């Protein structure tokens, strides 16, 4: 059960509410986000919720029986829109493309990518400065120094940035520079990291775990929300299956299902999804048709020389065509 409280609820009214829920043996958790106060009640007993809904200081009350609650669509009529400022929004009716290299490599690469994005009217650049690599001998990223340089250059031209945070210790230093924190597939159920990201006022894009179910992804998002941060996006990036003909099994089905189950924006990552350059564009287009609110894709001036994931990265002419195709698909979907 979700109880939306008036932001200025009196302590005595809150106390009365707690007592009423105690009386029906409901366990309560208080959640204060950047937007609103809530009480999450978990219990078994059937009772008439109207008796609680009419108490002073209460805005609304909803029954939500799923394991995840605040991220569920069952109580929130309007989908959530993540607002990055300067009129850059992601969510239902606010389609975006995020593009850039797998890894941030150099100043020249940052400048070249930004110029390419500007030329194509793309508002968000992706790039890793902390790279989770399968081998410890692979390039692990330029770290905080790379982030500071990149953020400065991007800000100068009005482009937002999304980058992966791998550890709670990195959050404070990264916070002033990032526009969106990315939680990678390998950290999808790192509950300490999710708790910590719930305490900052910055959007978070949470990727589905390598073997994560849709339910687990939604419960991971619930960690962030219940710690106070409502600015969350869910990302389908492919899961591990028995198939070995491509990098991951991009679960297109997850896109409409997530949109149905949650009010959060849903993003598709075709690059890690299929992992094969020549198929990235068509798979991304399929994701958009299936209902994705944004696409995140890997782009590099010379993918053969990319420090990581070159095999799934589009060059500038391929990505130019892809961006156009994605916008066409979005417009087609809107007309259907």
Footprint on this chain of Mn ion (rule: CB under 5 A): 102, 309
**Stretch of 20-28, 44-52, 179-187, 212-220 lying at the interface with ligand PEP (CB under 6 A):** 179-187
Binding mask 255-284 for ligand PEP (x = CB under 6 A): -----------------x------------
Residue among 17 and 268 whose Cβ is closer to Mn ion: 268
Residue among 43 and 132 whose Cβ is closer to ligand PEP: 132
Minimal distance in Å, beta carbon 248 to Mn ion? Answer: 11
How many angstroms separate the CA atoms of 170 and 152, rounded? Answer: 18
Footprint of ligand PEP on 232-251 (CB under 6 A): 237
Output the six-digit token pair for 246: 């491509």
Instruction: Indicate the SS3 state at residue 186.
Output: helix
Task: Estimate to the nearest angstrom the gap between the alpha carbon of 191 and the chain centroid.
Answer: 15
Q: Determine which residue in the list 141, 184, 265, 275 makes contact with ligand PEP, applying CB under 6 A.
A: 184
Output the six-digit token pair for 286: 């399929």
Task: Estimate to the nearest angstrom the gap between the alpha carbon of 10 and the chain centroid.
Answer: 34
Minimal distance in Å, beta carbon 215 to Mn ion? Answer: 26
Element (H, E) at 307: none
Q: Determine which residue in the list 132, 143, 291, 325 makes contact with ligand PEP, applying CB under 6 A.
A: 132
Instruction: Indicate the SS3 state at residue 330.
Output: helix
Partner that binds at residue 194, options ligand PEP, Mn ion, none, CB closer than 5 to 8 Å by kind = none
Number of residues that bind ligand PEP (CB under 6 A): 9
How many angstroms separate the CA atoms of 57 and 17, rounded? Answer: 9
From residue 238, how far is each of 62, 89, 176, 285 by CA, in Å?
33, 24, 30, 15
Question: What is the torsional sign of CA 321, 324, 328, 329?
Answer: positive
Output the six-digit token pair for 321: 């065509």
Footprint of ligand PEP on 111-130 (CB under 6 A): 128
Residue among 58 and 142 whose Cβ is closer to ligand PEP: 142
Minimal distance in Å, beta carbon 87 to ligand PEP? Answer: 25
Residue 185 interacts with ligand PEP (CB under 6 A)? Answer: yes
How many angstroms separate the CA atoms of 123 and 223, rounded? Answer: 28
Q: How many helices (H) and strands (E) does the chain have?
A: 11, 14
Residue nearest to Mn ion (CB): 102
Binding mask 83-102 for ligand PEP (x = CB under 6 A): -------------------x
How many angstroms separate the CA atoms of 73 and 261, rounded? Answer: 5
The contact set with ligand PEP (CB under 6 A) reads: 102, 128, 132, 184-186, 207, 237, 272
């Amino acid at each position: 059960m979700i109880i939306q409280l008036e932001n200025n609820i009196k302590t005595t009214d809150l106390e009365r509410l707690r007592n009423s829920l105690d009386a029906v043996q409901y366990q309560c958790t208080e959640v204060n986000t950047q937007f609103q106060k809530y009480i999450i009640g978990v219990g078994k007993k059937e009772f008439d919720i109207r008796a609680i809904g009419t108490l002073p200081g209460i805005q609304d009350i909803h029954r939500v029986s799923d394991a995840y609650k605040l991220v569920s669509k069952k109580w929130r009529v309007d989908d959530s829109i993540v607002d990055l400022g300067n009129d850059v929004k992601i969510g239902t009716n606010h389609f975006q493309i995020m593009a850039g290299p797998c890894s941030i490599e150099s100043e020249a690469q940052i400048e070249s990518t930004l110029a390419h994005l500007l030329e194509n009217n793309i508002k968000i650049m992706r790039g890793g400065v902390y790279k989770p690599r399968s081998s410890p001998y692979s390039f692990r990223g330029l770290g905080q120094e790379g982030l500071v340089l990149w953020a400065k250059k991007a800000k100068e031209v009005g482009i937002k940035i999304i980058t992966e945070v791998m550890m709670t210790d990195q959050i404070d230093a990264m916070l002033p520079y990032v526009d969106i924190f990315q939680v990678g597939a390998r950290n999808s159920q790192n509950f300490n990291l999710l708790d910590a990201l719930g305490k900052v006022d910055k959007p978070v894009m949470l990727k589905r775990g390598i073997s994560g179910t849709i339910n687990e992804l939604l419960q991971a998002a619930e960690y962030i929300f219940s710690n106070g941060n409502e600015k969350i996006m869910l990302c389908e990036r492919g899961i591990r299956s028995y198939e070995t003909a491509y990098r991951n099994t991009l679960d297109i089905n997850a896109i409409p299902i997530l949109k149905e189950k949650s009010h959060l924006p849903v993003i598709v990552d075709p690059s890690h999804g299929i992992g094969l350059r020549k198929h990235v564009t068509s798979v991304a287009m399929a994701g958009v048709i299936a209902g994705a609110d944004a696409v995140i894709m890997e782009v590099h001036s010379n993918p053969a020389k990319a420090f990581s994931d070159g095999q799934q990265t589009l060059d500038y002419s391929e990505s130019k065509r892809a961006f156009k195709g994605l916008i066409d698909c979005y417009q087609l979907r809107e007309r259907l």
